[in-house]
Amino acid sequence: MTLPRLSAALFSETNSLSVGPLLPWRQRQHAVSPRIAHLGIGAFHRAHLAWYTDALMHAGGDDPWPWAIMGVSLRSPEVAAQLNPQQGLYTLQQSSASSTSQQLIQSVLGVLVAPQDPAAVIALLGARTTDIISLTVTEKGYCLDLVSRQLDFAHPDIVFDLAHPSTPRSAIGYLVAGLAERFAKGYPAPTILCCDNLPQNGVTLARLVTQFAEKLNPDLAAWISAQVAFPSSMVDRIVPATTQADIEVLAAETGYLDLAMVKTEQFSQWVIEDKFAGARPAWEQVGALLVQDVAPFEHAKLRLLNGAHSALAYLGTLSGYSYVHQVVADPLFGRYLRHLMTQELMPTLLVDGEAPAGLDLPAYIDALLQRFANPALAHRTMQIAMDGSQKLPQRLLAAAEQRLQAGQSVDAICFAVAGWLRFSMGFDAKGDALEVSDPLAARLLEIRLVHWDHIDELVGEYLKLSQVFAPALVAYPQFAQRLTYWLSYILANGVPTALQSLLLEVQDYAAAPRLATLGGSAR
């Protein structure tokens, strides 16, 4: 039997849907104009900002002017094909280890596909009624040089967009085109809300947008600097990619086919800098935290959650694990991840030996390990392994630099970085091919092919990738030395054996001060 597709009409045709009902504004016939435009409407957005906004719609009753979202896909028409026939409706499935629940999300109106109609996207971003432009375009979507933290003017999309500002390709090009419309028409400036895992994401995005605009029109750039708000935000929710099997299981349970469903965990966190240019949804009413300074939350999340995630993705894949929960169920990995987080990453978050106010870091680490262990998520290590060159600087390498500056060891971090380099070689321990999806994949492969038989040269060449490894980090000889040590260990013995050796070494290391303290108190 063919099941009906999820759609607004389905709610009037049947009264047996387990999700719903439709919100009153959804049932009215007149068109609603979006107040939020979202660039990069992937699964993460649908489980995060759109979910908070939907919760607010439910909490707020019959809002005459709801905070509806129009999504934009910057590249592929896939999400539009999933969501538009469903009038933007989709099911969000939350799973813990023991229970699963589904809800209908109604905050999204539809999706525009930028390459199909750039003018429509620019009109959306430039509309007076669009109060907020939010983004989840992944780390690489910003055309950012991660080490200098400036716009990469050599990036092919930026070169193209500066030459064709009315038919851009990049998120930055679209933002500036939309802002230019508003500036020309004298409309009020919007808020641009970055929801990607980048440090100081608001400040960073403001810099990129202004640098791009400066090349086109210095007056526009000055207006952007003065008027547009770019709050920083820390976003957190684990959202594995939806599979065909997930869609089929949901269909069997609900009786409808939802090609846009998303699955996620019960946990969600959103910390937003309270700095908006105009009106904003009262997201704090549905669990978001509006604060003056996002930095402590963002650092803790990027280094502990995302740092550990990247480490387990590379090392786990190389050890034959396909899913995150399998990796953390292996006691060897459990010990390693705890060590990495508590001994090497957490200390970099302390200010004068104290955790920032409001953060209980050991409890946060415990909670992370539990979240990673959730088998219902079936979160693939290969999903996290994507784009390592774009992720490692803020997740692991900044912490390594900070530790080296303080004269501290970096073995567990170097072990994870060695895992990434070993993964980027493109084959696993059995010699089977691994798909390396990374803007630097070709360069990483070339380095491996040319310098394969000389480990010091090999690591030396990797460390010349200055968009990943900051010169200030590479200046510490200990970094290259520990990285070389662990990469050669992994190459010779495989990850699990190397990991055992690392844990033995660091155990001694951790035990030493404790023995000294005991000796001291006995005297």
Q: What are the residues binding ligand CS2 (CB under 6 A)?
A: 197, 236-238, 305-306, 309, 383-384, 391
State the nearest-atom distance from the C-beta of 344 to ligand CS2, in Å: 18
Which is it for strands 289-291 and 269-273: parallel, antiparallel or unpaired?
Answer: parallel
State the nearest-atom distance from the C-beta of 213 to ligand CS2, in Å: 29
State the nearest-atom distance from the C-beta of 336 to ligand CS2, in Å: 17
Nearer to ligand CS2, 22 or 327 (CB): 327
Nearer to ligand CS2, 311 or 498 (CB): 311
Q: What is the separation of C-alpha 281 from the centre of its chain, rounded to a whole number of angstroms? A: 22
Nearer to ligand CS2, 221 or 238 (CB): 238
State the nearest-atom distance from the C-beta of 303 to ligand CS2, in Å: 12
Contact 225, 244 (CB under 8 A): no
Nearer to ligand CS2, 94 or 484 (CB): 94
CA distances (Å), origin 398, targets 135, 201, 303, 423: 24, 15, 9, 21
Nearer to ligand CS2, 88 or 296 (CB): 296
Whole-angstrom distance, CA of residue 201 vs CA of residue 197: 7
State the nearest-atom distance from the C-beta of 373 to ligand CS2, in Å: 14
State the nearest-atom distance from the C-beta of 236 to ligand CS2, in Å: 4
State the nearest-atom distance from the C-beta of 348 to ligand CS2, in Å: 18
Nearer to ligand CS2, 221 or 421 (CB): 421
Nearer to ligand CS2, 170 or 268 (CB): 268
Buried b (16+ CB within 10 A) or exposed e, 282-316: ebbebebbbbeebbbbbbbbbbbbbbbbbbbbbbb
Provide CB contacts within 8 A for 342, sequence distance 6+.
Answer: 362, 365
Buried b (16+ CB within 10 A) or exposed e, 356-390: eeebebeebbeebeebbbbebbbbbbbebbbbbbb
Nearer to ligand CS2, 236 or 438 (CB): 236
Whole-angstrom distance, CA of residue 431 vs CA of residue 500: 22
Structure tokens at 408: 């501290």
State the nearest-atom distance from the C-beta of 49 to ligand CS2, in Å: 13
State the nearest-atom distance from the C-beta of 385 to ligand CS2, in Å: 8
Whole-angstrom distance, CA of residue 134 vs CA of residue 34: 12
Is the C-alpha dihedral spanning 137, 140, 146, 152 positive or negative? negative
State the nearest-atom distance from the C-beta of 340 to ligand CS2, in Å: 14
CA distances (Å), origin 497, targets 310, 328, 382, 502: 19, 17, 22, 9
State the nearest-atom distance from the C-beta of 309 to ligand CS2, in Å: 4
Q: What is the dihedral of CA 470, 473, 477, 483, to 10 degrees?
A: -80
Nearer to ligand CS2, 238 or 376 (CB): 238
- Of the candidates 44, 47, 379, 83, the residue with the CA atom closest to the CA atom of residue 258: 83
Nearer to ligand CS2, 136 or 484 (CB): 136
- The DSSP 8-state label assigned to residue 395 in this structure reads I
State the nearest-atom distance from the C-beta of 238 to ligand CS2, in Å: 4
Shortest Cβ contact with ligand CS2: which residue? 309
Whole-angstrom distance, CA of residue 173 vs CA of residue 471: 29
- Whether residue 21 is preceded by a cis peptide bond, meaning omega within 30 degrees of 0, is yes
Structure tokens at 326: 């399998």
Nearer to ligand CS2, 254 or 390 (CB): 390
Q: What angle do CA 476, 484, 504 make, to 5 degrees?
A: 100
Nearer to ligand CS2, 175 or 392 (CB): 392
- Tell me the DSSP string of 294-338: -HHHHHHIIIIIIHHHHHHHHHHHHTT--BHHHHHHSHHHHHHHH
Nearer to ligand CS2, 73 or 233 (CB): 233
Which is it for strands 36-39 and 132-135: parallel, antiparallel or unpaired?
Answer: parallel
- Of the candidates 394, 367, 361, the residue with the CA atom closest to the CA atom of residue 473: 394
State the nearest-atom distance from the C-beta of 237 to ligand CS2, in Å: 5
